Amino acid sequence: MSNSESPGARQFPRVGKNWIRLLSAALLFLLVSGVAWSLAPSSRALIPVTLLSLVPLGIVIAVFVRMLRQTDELARRIASEALVLSFVATIAAMIVYPFLETAGFPAIRPDIVIFLLAGLFSVGVAIFSRRYE
Amino acid sequence: MKNSLKVLRAERDWSQADLAERLGVSRQTVNALETGKYDPSLPLAFKIAHLFDRLIEDIFDPEEIASSEESRRTG
């Protein structure tokens, strides 16, 4: 093998940097949305802070799309399948859970959706990666 | 889809990682291609054919596609 750097070899360190960006933006989003959550409904800062939380969320989306573009086609397929799983399962849970709430299950915070999406996406990546091993 | 990727790679004494680097994909992709669990996109198939200096149909078996489509139709 030659020591010259191929395009494929360059891809993976950049993915690592993107993970740091993604996690930083996600943490920032959680921080700002946490501040918005703690504000009183009558607070004048509620609308600006809530809108401000959209900025890190936008960064999360941009970095995620960039990460998908930089990975190879199999990784893109696995990510797409995992995204479908996480979205469909989350939508199903959001439809079913209100019925369970009326049956006595505890009420959940709406921002649990983010963790559900992320968790199911991770599970989906693990499941679909095994299919191609 | 069956393919002769493993044979072609072995002829050149390349590891999966070597081939992956030459194709600009991950080693997992090369492994999935060799085991027939993943069919490459047209650009990647052309890249593979170009790398091994063969035609796409010399590497990937179109008969296998026809038979798998047929078995899918008949259930």
Q: What percent helix, strand, coil does chain B show, rounded to 5?
A: 70, 5, 30
Tens of pLDDT along chain A (133 residues) come to 444 444 444 444 455 788 888 889 888 988 888 888 888 888 888 888 888 888 988 998 898 888 888 888 999 999 999 999 999 999 999 999 999 999 888 888 877 888 899 899 999 999 999 988 8
Residue of A nearest to B24 (CA): A8
Find residues 24-43 of chain A whose CB sits inside 8 Å of chain B.
none
pTM over 0.80: no
Closest CB to B23 among A8, A71, A131: A8
Could you tell me which of B1, B21, B14, B15 has the C-alpha nearest to residue B69? B1
